[in-house]
Structure 1
Amino acid sequence: MRVGDRVITREQFHREMDQLPQFLKPLLLEEGKKREFLNNLIDRELLLLEASKRGLDKDEEILNKVERFKKGLIIEALLQDLFRGKDEVKEEEIEEYYREHKKDFFVGERIRVRHIVVRTLEEAREIKRRLEEGEDFVTLAKKYSISPAARKGGDLGYIERGKVGKEFEKAAFALKNPGDISDIVKTSFGYHIIRLEDRKEPHQKTLDEAREEIRKILREKKRERILKDYLAKLREKYRVVINESLLEKELKK
């Protein structure tokens, strides 16, 4: 297969297919999918040809980004090899961590809320009136709210105390039952109307609930120690020289 002066060989075609994520490979067995995959390769080569024609393959900024990306991949491969078989977390380590840090797995009261936020008090009053007359909160949020959550019907998910503004928090946590709607609340973002969707009472996570979170924490701690020791050895293996006077000048800039 030829695209301009570039050739797509059979070997390259199969190599590209091999690099697909494992879960996508069975899709190539479907009728027409290999041709579709080949057309995608051709499209990519066409774009690369045009980019090359415009000199983008010699653009210094792009080449620097490519070099940084390449270095990142190489380092990632080295670290994967370094950590392999050394960062496994045993069940007894998880249990010990849970016992010693049990308070860290206490979950405070959380509520799930939706809100509508508008710029003016007049707009908020009009929306509040329409809600009291029975109009749908989600529909009004999608149509009038200036919040990024508007596309989700104003859904903010679960929030905790101390994670949102004081005025908003006070009004939201004062709501008692799912479906309750707040009075108009003024914040620096505008005028809000809040609806309670759900409430989760404070609770202590069990070991089972916290297990995977703890495993992740302990694995990261092990990797940090392994990397720290490895870098210390590399500093002994390779000579590191720092021009202190030049560094001082740079630090003062």
Structure 2
Amino acid sequence: MMIKRLLFFGALALLLICSLGCERSAEKSLGRDELVRINDVSISIEEFREMSERQPLEGKMRLVSEKGLRDFLENYVITREVLYQEAKRKGLDRNKDVIAKVEDFRRAMLIDALLEQALKGKGEASEAEVQKYYKENQELFAEPREVRVRHIVVNSEPVLKEVLTRLARGESFERLAYTYNVDRSREDGGNLGYIRRGQLAPSFAQFEEAAFSLRKKGQISEIVRTPLGYHLIQLEETRGTALRPFDQVKERIRIFLQAKKRQEAYLEYVKETKSRAKIIVNEKLWAEEEKKEERPKEKRK
């Protein structure tokens, strides 16, 4: 990180030296720390650095060279200010719709900052909590030991759309597999027989996950992409029952618990914050508004 910062500020220094050398005459009217002036608006070198620092990591990586910094100055900093000034010149800063959108955005940013502060650390799930959930909800992680499936596999999106259209019309999955499949299963209407967890190559992990997520006979999976093409999988039959190992599902449990705890913390925080606020609803006015909503429904009847 330190090396990246040194490269960044080194490139920034190079940009300034080039600017000083190339535009001496133009800069006589600029202040010592004034990097650029657009009409009557001045942007200092410190402001430029702050804008650069606020860029996401991917953006910062483009700023380690003099060319990258110059592009950022010309195509982001200057361009943005020019367009902003033009919008103000046209009076858009006084437009009611624009003002309302800006206010909505400002409120949303403030609320996001508040919640980030209030819920910090509230969504963590410990290893013990993850294991406890796994032990107490093992029925959620039980699945067939083996599944017998068919698939339709095609190698282009236009053909896939054609297959989906015909399936939506109620045509036979098996017959469509016989018509469209690009692998040897075509001869048997896409029948793949029984498969077990871990039986398929790693590149077909998504295919395996989709196949074992099917629960009802005849159920069809979402589209799955593998090196072979686009697949649709249909469950034919299941055999036996197996519990998925903890290591295979622990991250999924952790994500679920983190989201659950964060949502609970959010609801509790909102409840607590509301309890401290003085809230009065004009019930009479609300009742009148409800009546207005009901009248159009009555007319439609």
- Equivalent in the alignment of 2:177: 175
5+ residue gaps in structure 1? 115-136, 139-148, 183-194
CA RMSD, Structure 1 to Structure 2 (Å): 3.5
The answer to whether the Cα contact below 8 Å between 1:98 and 1:214 also exists between their aligned partners in 2 is yes
* Aligned residue identity for 1:167: G
1:142-221, aligned counterparts within 5 Å?
149-150=157-158, 154=160, 165=168, 167=170, 170-171=172-173, 175=177, 179=183, 180=186, 197=231, 205-221=244-260
> Is 2:150–2:174's contact at 8 Å kept on the other side of the alignment?
no
The aligned amino acid for 2:68 is K
Which residue is 2:195 aligned to?
Answer: none
Unaligned runs of 5+ in 2: 1-35, 190-228, 294-301
Look up the match of 2:262: 223
Kindly provide the amino acid, as one letter, of the partner of residue 59 in structure 1: N
Deviation at 1:97, TM superposition (A): 2.3
Greater CA radius of gyration, 1 or 2?
Answer: 2
Correspondent of 1:94 among 114, 122, 130: 130
Structure 1 residue 5: deviation in Å? 2.3
Read off the aligned partner of 1:33 and give its amino acid letter.
Answer: G
Equivalent residue, structure 2, for 1:122: none
TM-score normalised by structure 2 residue count: 0.56
Cα distance change of structure 1 residues 91 and 28 upon mapping to structure 2, 3 Å threshold: same
For 1:231 and 1:173, how far apart are their aligned partners in 2? 55
Q: Deviations over 1:131-179 (max 9, x none)?
A: xxxxxx63xxxxxxxxxx44xx7489xx9xxxx74726x4269737753
Matched, 1:13 2:13: no
Amino acid at match of 1:224: Q
In structure 2, what is the equivalent of residue 4 of structure 1? Answer: 39
**Partner in structure 2 of residue 27 of structure 1:** 62
Q: Relative contact order, CA 8 A, sep 6+: which one is greater?
A: 1
Distance 2:244 2:81 in 1: 52
SS in structure 1 at match of 2:103? helix
> What is the CA–CA distance in structure 1 between the aligned matches of 2:246 and 2:175, rounded to whole Å?
28
Q: Which amino acid aligns with 2:287?
A: E
Deviation at 1:71, TM superposition (A): 1.0
- Counting matched residue pairs gives 200
